[in-house]
Chains A and B, each alone.
Chain A
Amino acid sequence: MRTMLRRRVLRALLAGCVLLTTVGQAGAIPPDPDNAALLYYQAFMSIPEFEGEVRDLLRNVAQGKVDPNDAAREAIGKCRAAIETAEAASELSICHWGFRFSQGFDCLMPQLSQCRVLTFVLLAEARVQAADGDHRSALERCVMLDNFARHIGDDTLISYLVSLAVRNLGYECMRGIMGQASGDASLMRWLKSELSTTSEHELTPIRSLKIEREIVLKMLRMENAEQYARVVVGEGGTEEEILAKVSEEMFAKARRIYNEHVTEALSVMGGPMPYEQAYARLDDLMESFDPNDPAAAAGGALAPALAKIMTLKVRAEAHTNAMRAGAEIYLQKAKSGKLPAKLPAGLPKDPFSREDFAYERTDDGFVLRCQAKDLDKDTIHEYVFAVR
Chain B
Amino acid sequence: MSQRRDENWLDDELRRAIDTTNPQFDAEAWKQKYAVEYQTLVARLGKPPSSKRPIRFVITRYAIAAVILIGVGVLLTRTPEPGEREPAPRPGPTVTSPAEMTSMMALRAAYRQGGQDALEQLLDTAMEKLGPRPSETPTLRLLSDFEG
Contacts and interface: CB of A to CB of B under 8 A. Distances in A.
B102 A110 contact: yes
Contacts of A156: 104
A38 to B, nearest CB: 16
Interface in A68-95: 81-82
Contacts of B8: none
For this complex, into which size category does the number of interface residues on chain B fall? 20 to 34
B31 interface: no
A347 interface: no
A112 B124 CA distance: 10
A117 B132 contact: yes
Contacts of A108: 99-100, 102-104
B131 A44 contact: yes
A45 B104 contact: no
Contacts of B100: 108
B132 A114 contact: yes
Given A105-B108, A158-B108, A234-B113, A48 B136 contact: yes
Contacts of A49: 131-134
Contacts of B107: 109, 112, 158
B99 A44 contact: no
Contacts of B113: 234
A116 interface: yes
Contacts of A62: none
Interface in A139-160: 156-158
A82 B111 contact: no
B103 A109 contact: yes
Interface string B118-146: 01100110110011111110000000000
Most buried by A among B108, B109, B111, B134: B108
Contacts of A82: 135
Nearest to A79: B135
Contacts of A231: 105, 109
B103 A105 contact: yes
A230 B102 contact: no
Contacts of B135: 45-48, 81-82
Given A113-B127, A158-B111, A165-B120, A107 B103 contact: yes
Nearest to B135: A46
A162 B100 CA distance: 18
Given A45-B135, A156-B104, A116 B109 contact: no
A30 B127 CA distance: 33
A162 B123 contact: yes
B15 interface: no
A158 B119 contact: yes
B126 A110 contact: yes
Contacts of A47: 132, 135
Contacts of A81: 135
Interface of A: 44-49, 81-82, 104-110, 112-114, 116-117, 156-158, 161-162, 165, 230-231, 234, 304-305
Given A46-B135, A108-B102, A108-B104, 9 more contacts: A44-B132, A48-B136, A105-B105, A113-B102, A113-B124, A158-B107, A161-B119, A162-B123, A165-B120
23 contacts: A45-B133, A47-B132, A48-B135, A49-B131, A49-B132, A49-B134, A105-B105, A108-B99, A110-B126, A110-B130, A112-B102, A113-B124, A114-B131, A114-B132, A116-B127, A156-B104, A158-B107, A158-B108, A161-B116, A230-B105, A234-B113, A304-B108, A304-B112
